[in-house]
Homo-oligomer: A and B are copies of this chain.
Amino acid sequence: MDLEIVAIGNELLLGFTIDTNGAELGQALGAIGVRVTRRTTVGDEPAAIRGAVAEALSRTGAVLTTGGLGPTRDDVSKKVVAELYGWPFRFHDEIWQRLVERFRRMGREPAPANRGQAEVPEGASVLNNRWGTAPGLWLEGSPGLVIMLPGVPHEMRNLLAHEVVPRLAERAGGAVVASKELRTSSIPESTLAGRLEAFEDALAPLSLAYLPGVHGVDLRLTAWNLPRSEAEGLLADAAQRLRSAIGDVVYGEDGADLAAVLVDTLREQRHTVSLGESCTGGLVGARITAVPGSSAVFQGGVVCYSNAAKTALLGVASGLIESTGAVSPEVALALARGARDRFGTTASIGVTGIAGPDGGSVEKPVGTVCFAWLLGEREEQSRYVFPGGREEVRERAAQFALHRLFRMAGAA
């Protein structure tokens, strides 16, 4: 089945917002055999919205819109689309009750502006939005199918997954575009490419893409327009072959989060973990605690940004800091040991480095980060120089810190 997307919002045209919804929709719909044939972005003007939706309907008969459903008066898309169907609005008491309840839970009351969010076109089905205040709408009849979703990314994503994809998958059927991703870290793209060179030709009809980012290089295998079972078989087989070549640097598949994978591994091995962070400033802790259920493994961490805090809170000898500098493998080890002892854990990580933009030297340029990892009786240390600006150095360092502990635990 073919479908067009109409994205609504002045912000998108003005360039103040990057449209990430379009890519998410393309992937999610492609995966169930719905082909997105065009995406049109228009501003918050009724005539432009009407024109774009009507033209798209005339080409494919099926349109998905994002944006223009909020409580403020710059949101007009619901009204414009209802006019295409000739449907009047009615007040939808169930939506209103859910809104009132949602606000009540947060100790508040809906504002008068929210009342309009409970008005829906007469013939439309309501897609219950449990992640925000604007419900999605499903309009089907003459002149075709229009699915309206809010533009806020996490609301769009949840409504898509829970309300739209199940309904569309039924009617799509047939050939799909499917892909599988292997996530690697701590290895440069060119080294990876060298190790995989001999495999690439044998992957046909699948394509292989290298996607480098601050968290490492993702490898995407894609099957194009094949029946689902055939595509999935080919992808599983190819992923297996890639793993046999580079399994040591792979930490997961398809959007896997390294912190989540690490938490799972540590929990299985009955380890607990703590942190002594300097340059990452809490980022490693934030990565770990982003994982639901991480409290079973993670006891805590100390962010000791000043040298005084390194000594006072984690017992790093001030003489050591003076003799090696605050950024040294020895201080990283002292941070890891201090955290382990204070929090009473079986594993720990120490991180200290120079995130920049200032503080670099010839011997220790900006991007230099020293690490220490403790896991049971084992200790490892590393010094690495990361490229990029302050945020990139910190993100790469946090990922590197998590990855080595994962590899130590995996090899255990």
The 3 closest A-B pairs by CB, nearest first: A281-B289, A15-B26, A282-B285
| Bound-state Cα–Cα, A37 to B44, Å | 10
Number of copies of this kind of chain in the complex: 2
Give the residues in chain B near A309, CB-CB below 8 Å. Answer: 299-300, 343
Residues of A184-229 contacting chain B, CB below 8 A: 188-191, 193-194, 200, 207-213, 220, 222
Asked, given contacts A39-B40, A343-B309, whether A71 binds B15 with beta carbons under 8 Å apart, the answer is no
Binds B, one of A101-109, A118-126, A139-147, A371-379: A101-109
Interface check A412, CB cutoff 8 A: no
A sample of 8 inter-chain contacts (CB < 8 A) reads: A105-B385, A132-B387, A280-B289, A282-B284, A282-B289, A292-B390, A300-B305, A302-B303
| Bound-state Cα–Cα, A210 to B68, Å | 11
Give the residues in chain B near A285, CB-CB below 8 Å. Answer: 277, 281-282, 285-286, 303
Interface check A408, CB cutoff 8 A: no
**CB <8 Å contact, A40 and B37:** no
Size class of the A contact interface (CB-based, 8 Å)? 35 or more
A118: shortest Cβ distance to chain B, in Å? Answer: 13
**CB <8 Å contact, A27 and B15:** yes
Other-chain residue from B30, B43, B394 in contact with A14 (beta carbon distance below 8 A):
B30
A336: shortest Cβ distance to chain B, in Å? Answer: 15
| Bound-state Cα–Cα, A309 to B22, Å | 44
Interface check A25, CB cutoff 8 A: yes
**CB <8 Å contact, B304 and A300:** yes
A151: shortest Cβ distance to chain B, in Å? Answer: 10
Asked, given contacts A300-B304, A306-B300, whether A22 binds B19 with beta carbons under 8 Å apart, the answer is yes
**CB <8 Å contact, B18 and A20:** yes
Other-chain residue from B207, B277, B299, B392 in contact with A305 (beta carbon distance below 8 A):
B299
**CB <8 Å contact, B275 and A289:** no
Complex interface bits, A14-47 against B, C-beta within 8 A gives 1, otherwise 0? 1111111011111110100000111111111000
Interface check A342, CB cutoff 8 A: yes
Closest B residue to A20 using CB positions: B18
